[in-house]
Amino acid sequence: MKGMIRAAAMVFLLAPGVSWAEDLDAGLNAFNAGEYETAYEIWQPIAEQGVAVAQYSLGVMYYDGLGVAQDYAEAVQWYRAAAEKGNAGAQFNLGLMYLQGRGVAQDFVTAHMWLNIAASSGHANAREARDVVHGQMTPEAIAQAQRRARICMESDYQDCD
């Protein structure tokens, strides 16, 4: 997970004129040094402002219990916030949460939907994970998941339920 946070953060750190880029970088440095509480304190207000990479990073922290009490439901909330902004890592992780029933009720249709979206967003492992879910679903459920993914993406992540 650390590598995924690092990769996601680098995309935003390279963007010119982003006012929170230095704070994201400071949070990443703290995270990489194992100073998870400090990383959380830095990223939490940025995540509250709606910055997807910070939201994704808090999701990882809650999932793994790094600097915070492990809380899958809280991880799902942060992953969903970032996923709805197009963050492929969050989309992938959200799909896995639904697949495993962690923090949410297990739901293969929703898992397939988010993994399909993550694959469309370019996540390297999403296709393989989606195909695993695919093998556990009926053709009707697969069609429903594909329809939901299409609606979600066409609505710019406003209609993903």
How many other CB atoms are found less than 10 A from the CB of residue 70? 12
What is residue 16's predicted lDDT score, i.e. its pLDDT? 44
Give the pLDDT confidence of 36-86 residue by residue, as tens digits. 999 999 999 999 999 999 999 999 999 999 999 999 999 999 999 999 999
Confidence (pTM):
0.86
pLDDT mean over 99-106:
97
| Dist. CA 65–CA 102, nearest whole Å | 14
What is residue 44's predicted lDDT score, i.e. its pLDDT? 95
What is residue 95's predicted lDDT score, i.e. its pLDDT? 97
Instruction: Tell me the C-alpha to C-alpha distance, in Å, between residue 108 and each of 1, 42, 69, 112, 118.
Output: 23, 35, 27, 6, 15
Give the pLDDT confidence of 5-46 residue by residue, as tens digits. 544 544 444 444 456 778 888 999 999 999 999 999 999 999
pLDDT band at 111 (very low <50, low <70, confident <90, very high): very high
Backbone angles phi, psi at 133, to 5 degrees: -65, -45
What is residue 24's predicted lDDT score, i.e. its pLDDT? 86
| Dist. CA 53–CA 12, nearest whole Å | 8
What is residue 20's predicted lDDT score, i.e. its pLDDT? 72
What is residue 133's predicted lDDT score, i.e. its pLDDT? 93
